[in-house]
Amino acid sequence: MLKKNALYILFLGILCILAGIGVMIWASDKFYLGIAFVVLGLVYGLAGLLLYRRVKKQAVTKVEPKE
């Protein structure tokens, strides 16, 4: 479940980055709003990546070698 949430957060970050780029291109008078969206996307993307790596690491440590 956490892995799914991490991927959703990462996807949201990518969408925010694309929205920020779109705002900077099509509404050049609102350039700072575009920068804010890009920064928000980077924060969401970083959070999603960190959560995904943590979940992946927990999954590896849960698997015990069979003896």
Model confidence over 14-52: pLDDT tens digits? 999 999 898 888 888 888 888 999 999 999 989 988 988
Q: What is the pLDDT of residue 40?
A: 92
Confidence check: pLDDT of 65 > 90: no
Confidence check: pLDDT of 67 > 60: no
pTM, 2 dp: 0.76
Assign 3-class secondary structure to 4-37: HHHHHHHHHHHHHHHHHHHHHHHCHHHHHHHHHH
The set of residues, in sequence order, having a beta carbon less than 8 Å from that of 55 and lying 6+ positions away, is: 2, 3, 6
Alpha-carbon distance values, 40 to 9, 13, 33, 37, 59 (Å) = 11, 7, 10, 5, 29
CA dist 53 and 43 (Å) reads 15
Q: What is the pLDDT of residue 30?
A: 83
Q: What is the pLDDT of residue 6?
A: 84
